[in-house]
Amino acid sequence: MLFITATGCGGTKFVASSSSEGNQLPPNVVFLLVDDLGWRDLGCYGSDFYETPNIDRLAARSTLFTDAYSAHPVCSPTRAALLTGRHPSRIGITDWIPGQDPRNRPLVGVTDLDSLPLHELTLAEALKEYDYTTFFAGKWHLGDEGNYPEDQGFDINKGGHHKGSPPGGYYSPYQNPKLADGPAGEYLTDRLTDESIQFMSAQREEPFLLYLSYYTVHTPIQACNRHLQRFEDKKAALQIGEPNVRGEGGGQTVLDQYNPAYASMVYALDENVGRLLDSLEAMGLDDRTLIVFTSDNGGLSTLENRRTAPTSVVPLRAGKGWAYEGGIRTPLLVSRPGQQTARRSFTPVISMDLFPTILQETGHPLMPDAHVDGLSLTPLLNSDQDTLHEVLFWDYPHYHGSAWTPGSALRKGDWKLVYFYETDRYELYHLATDLSEQRDLSGSHRAELTDLKEEMARMKQEYRVKMPTANVR
């Protein structure tokens, strides 16, 4: 196969063309993105209450990353980073769209973008240049009319629009301008999978990118009725009562997995992942399809105003919206075509890495000037190396309904720095000995604190991070 690439920087698009030698097709890509799925919401990541036999089956033929991170503690910034390989702050999307930004707090959050700029090169646009047919289903949340998936390189869009949660809930009628209603009682997670399987069936003779971005398990927590009783019975059998909670800033974190409705949503997700895997096998596509499975941020385990969140990611601290581990550490499975064995990687990796990984794993040249903040995971998948990034950085200069206040975080090796703008406070944790981030070492490890503060300043300069400002009232 011959590849020709023209590269540029900034807002310049990249173009590429290819011609196949013989009849061998490049691998298909199935990218499964789950909304708000927590690090411990899967059996293969340690859940005892939720049941995920099919995702566990996928894990048995994948590399499971124990230290995979989302690019951001909330959805839209991470979704932009996944599609571009660029840090959310570099793009200019630093909050969910349109965000909260209250005007009665000590700080005013930064002004950021309300859509993914059309000049950004997306993974879909890159693969289209290699004659991939590109399909999107589910949650988009990266802009309104004129900035939908079909405007960003996807040939087909089933359900992707500007809303961050399903406007009609999880049962038809969906009230979704990009998804026709199904029969009464149809469950959204099932429908998106149906659409995806139909696409694969029609496309089996040509390479494709299937980007299935499930709305589940985002709120509203709306049970899959066919599975609800299963988990109500399990909760009773295990004698699980009301969850224990722990204070987190102005909010509280749930410490137990307890919610049968949420468990039924996870089980329905798993059921549909199983349907996709079975369909790939039945169509003879499993040996030439790369599968990526991940989440856009941590699980929803922390909320303000004494609200009780639906899941728990303990032993990690906090959850969605926070730059503690619970808000940014996510499941990540990468299954190569024909892979039949399970592997684990303990190397820290991040959302931006998936764009270059998919390019390299499908036999296409990397585009380092495009996915400037991502590094290919191929050397990790090959066991050729066990390190990747020297530093990972998160920037969230806004308030969030999880009780997070504007701040940022950085990981270097086993050390983690968390900074809060309101109080000008730094916290230092050693993740290898304190995964739960309960022992702040900023007072006793001054050298490490100084080093990470310097790294954070450097990263903020590199990404041109915007700072929140004092609220003058």
In this prediction, residue 23 carries a pLDDT of 57
Q: Which fold has domain 24-390?
A: Alkaline Phosphatase, subunit A (3.40.720)
Res. 167 pLDDT band, cuts 50 70 90: very high
| Amino acid sitting at position 466 | K
**Residue 185: other Cβ atoms inside 10 A:** 9
- Per-residue pLDDT tens for 402-419? 999 999 999 999 999 999
Residue 240 and residue 257: Cα distance in Å, rounded? 9
Over the Cα atoms of the chain, what is R_g?
Answer: 21
- In percent, the amount of the chain with pLDDT more than 90 equals 93
- Per-residue pLDDT tens for 337-379? 999 999 999 999 999 999 999 999 999 999 999 999 999 999 9
Res. 4: pLDDT tops 50:
no
Contacts of residue 450, defined as CB under 8 A and 6 or more positions apart, other chains included, come to none
The SS3 of residue 214 is: strand
Q: Output the pTM of the full model.
A: 0.94
Res. 13: pLDDT tops 70:
no
In this prediction, residue 343 carries a pLDDT of 97
- Per-residue pLDDT tens for 78-108? 999 999 999 999 999 999 999 988 999 999 9
Res. 14 pLDDT band, cuts 50 70 90: very low
Contacts of residue 461, defined as CB under 8 A and 6 or more positions apart, other chains included, come to none
The full DSSP string for 101-150 is --SSSSEEPPP--SS--TTSPPHHHHHHTTT-EEEEEE---S-STTSSGG
In this prediction, residue 280 carries a pLDDT of 98
In this prediction, residue 353 carries a pLDDT of 98
Two tokens, residue 138: 């589910």
- Per-residue pLDDT tens for 276-290? 999 999 999 999 999
- Per-residue pLDDT tens for 287-344? 999 999 999 999 999 999 999 999 999 999 999 999 999 999 999 999 999 999 999 9
Res. 446: pLDDT tops 50:
yes
- How far, in whole angstroms, is CA 425 from its chain's centroid? 28
In this prediction, residue 6 carries a pLDDT of 30
In this prediction, residue 16 carries a pLDDT of 36
Two tokens, residue 325: 């581990």
Residue 428 and residue 441: Cα distance in Å, rounded? 5
- Per-residue pLDDT tens for 246-285? 999 999 999 999 999 999 999 999 999 999 999 999 999 9
Average pLDDT over residues 423-438: 98
**Residue 450: other Cβ atoms inside 10 A:** 10
- In percent, the amount of the chain with pLDDT more than 70 equals 95
Average pLDDT, rounded, for the chain? 94
Domain ranges (residues) in the chain? 24-390
